[in-house]
Structure 1
Amino acid sequence: MRAIIFDLDGVLVSTDHFHDDAWRALARRLKISFDETACRRLRGVSQMAALELVLEQSPRRYTAAEKEALAAEKNTAYRAHIAGMTPADVADSTRTTLRSLKRRGLLLAVGSSSKNARFILEQTALTSYFDAIVDGNEITRSKPDPEVFLKAAAKLDVSPAEALVVEDAAAGIRAARSGGFQSAALGPDAAEEGLASHQIQNLADLLALV
């Protein structure tokens, strides 16, 4: 194993609650039902794909231009939340694990569907740990398509067989599997389909795998 590719939200940082709050606010304004089950369906998919899932509950149809405006509205609310993130929002154990992996000579990358990934990494002072970053601005197909992980591997100049993907969402594990990567499922959502190569309870468990 030469490289590890990390999803961002739910793996390196916890911003799911910010996403949930922003989607809830949008759904409330549109008078669309949105509960915890709906929240879980949105994990690990792109913003536009998530919007389509939210709008499934709407009695009306939206044009492409209206959808773009709704996505922008949600993103504005989300960025207002993450603008307040600081290095303190990253667990000490996460930084310790990243440093240990770097010392072992492993290449590290972030592969995230979020278009805000670089902003979050900068806000939390994580950017310097990674040799490559691929985010939602660089892909055309969201997870479970493996595009984001394949591009990250290409930037690291490693093959999928030489890289481990760390994910907290089932869609991400499916993406890793279809791309030919080994995967580590962090938490129950990622492990529920039984497709991951490994299951871990926290990032420090990676040190026993590589």
Structure 2
Amino acid sequence: MIKGFIFDLDGVITDTAELHYEAWKKLSDEMGWHFDRELNEKLRGISRMDSIKVIMDHNRVSLTDDAVVALSTKKNDIYVASLDTMTPNDYLPGAKELLTHLRQEGFLVALGSASKNAAKVLQQLNATHFFDVIGDGNSVAKSKPAPDIFLYASEKLKLQPNNCVVFEDAEKGIDAAIAGGFHSVGIGPAERVGHAEVRFDSMKEATFFEVKSFFSEFF
């Protein structure tokens, strides 16, 4: 039986992708590195430290560990400052409605995000009350595609993975859900999340009715 829902944050609940892109772009420009939207797509769903390594590999740059940490911290400072511009109007269409519906139906709900700033984002959205558990980049050591963040969330919910549905917009996120034994809902194009059990183009289409209909044998 499905008793819990676990949501990624960026690209599922809200879209901070543009803020991340602008922060990485600003840092890369300062460093004289190439960074564009095509390279930015490769950062979807992965941690900040993994992201800067992707950018460095692309630019064939090698730095000391301390320098990498300093630069990732600088990027984070740029990004966190931009979060102050977010408001409760910045939910992706359909996301708030789904969270509200799940609360009304009595399901357990967790966040499973690689972001270390998830709590701040939820606060800006006034969304914290929707979640029983917040799993973020501070909760586990291994980021997606390792299933650790989702396993952390399900453990805190006191549910088995097969009792939970994961909502993800990233290929690595769906990989993580599958690896952990979770049910999976992909949000986005087939070439990115088509290997999820069910896929929707956007959160607006991923209503509780549609999701429950697909997984009807588990409710």
TM-score by length of 2: 0.91
Following TM superposition, by how much is the alpha carbon of 1:77 offset from its aligned partner in structure 2, in angstroms? 0.6
Give 1:192's aligned residue: 192
89-98 or 164-173, which deviates more: 89-98
CA distance 1:94–1:192, change in 2 (3 Å): closer
Q: 1:187 to 1:59 in 2, by over 3 A?
A: closer
Is the alpha carbon distance of 1:92 and 1:188 closer, same or farther for their aligned partners in structure 2, counting shifts above 3 Å? closer
SS at match of 1:177: helix
RMSD (CA atoms): 1.4
The structural deviation recorded for 1:193 is 5.6
- Please say if residues 20 and 79 of structure 2, whose CA atoms lie closer than 8 Å, have aligned partners that are also in contact: yes
Matching residue of 1:122: 123
Is the partner of 1:192 in helix, strand or coil? helix
What pairs up with 1:1-210 in 2 under 5 angstroms?
Answer: 1-91=2-92, 93-188=94-189, 192=192, 194-204=194-204, 205-207=206-208, 208-210=210-212
Q: Which runs of 4+ in 1 moved over 6 A?
A: none
Pair 153,206 (structure 1): closer, same or farther in 2 beyond 3 Å: farther
Unmatched tracts of structure 1, length 5 or more: none
Taking the aligned partners of 1:125 and 1:193, their CA distance within structure 2 comes to 28
C-alpha distance in structure 2 between counterparts of 1:99 and 1:11, whole Å:
15
The verdict on how the C-alpha distance between 1:203 and 1:24 changes in structure 2, with shifts beyond 3 A counting, is: same
Classify the secondary structure of the residue corresponding to 1:32. Answer: coil
How far 1:73 moved relative to its partner?
Answer: 0.6
> Displacement of 1:201 after TM fit?
2.9
TM-score by length of 1: 0.95
TM-superposed CA distance for 1:59, in Å, is 4.3
Note the alpha carbon deviations across 1:13-67, whole angstroms, 9 max, x for none: 1100000001111111111111121000000000000010011133442101101
Q: Is the 8 Å Cα contact of residues 3 and 107 (structure 2) preserved in structure 1?
A: yes
User: Deviation digits for residues 88-141 of structure 1, max 9, x if unmatched?
Assistant: 212463222211111112111100000000010011100000111100011100
